[in-house]
Chains A and B, each alone.
Chain A
Amino acid sequence: MPGLAASWPICLGYVPIGIAFGVLAGKAGLTPLEIGLMSVIVFAGSAQFIAVSMIASGAGAPAIIATAFIVNLRHLLMSSALAVFLKPETRRKLSLFAYGVTDESFAINYSRFKAGQWNLNQALVLNHSANLVWIFSTVAGGFSGAWIPDGAFGIDFALIGMFICLLVFQLRGGIYIITAVIAGVLAVIFSLIIPGNLHVIIGSVLAATICVFIRTESNEDADD
Chain B
Amino acid sequence: MTDYDYLMIIVGMGLVTYLPRWAPLFFLSRRSLPQWFVRWLDLIPAAILSALLMPVLVTNGEPRHLDFLKPELLAALPTLLFALKTKSLGGTVIVGMLLFWLLSRF
Contacts and interface: CB of A to CB of B under 8 A. Distances in A.
A152 to B, nearest CB: 8
Interface in B14-31: 14, 16-18, 20-26, 28-30
Interface residues of A, number: 102
A94 interface: yes
Given A9-B88, A98-B25, A165-B83, A208 B43 contact: yes
Q: Chain B interface residue count: which class?
A: 35 or more
Interface in A51-86: 51, 55, 61, 64-66, 68-69, 72-84, 86
A200 B48 contact: yes
A9 B89 contact: yes
B96 A207 contact: no
A186 B105 CA distance: 32
Interface string A167-194: 1111100011101111111111001100
Contacts of B45: 78, 81, 106-107, 110, 170
A8 B33 contact: no
Contacts of B23: 76, 79
B50 A158 contact: no
B38 interface: yes
A132 interface: no
Contacts of B28: 79-80, 83-84
Given A94-B26, A154-B99, A162 B50 contact: no
| Interface-centre pick from B29, B38, B57, B92 (highest chain A CB count, 10 A) | B29
B58 A164 contact: no
Nearest to A162: B93
Nearest to B12: A65
A166 B89 CA distance: 7
B82 to A, nearest CB: 8
Interface in B68-106: 72, 75-76, 79-80, 83-84, 87-90, 92-101, 104
Given A101-B21, A164-B53, A169-B89, 13 more contacts: A29-B1, A42-B10, A43-B17, A80-B41, A94-B22, A94-B26, A99-B22, A108-B89, A160-B57, A163-B52, A171-B46, A183-B54, A192-B66
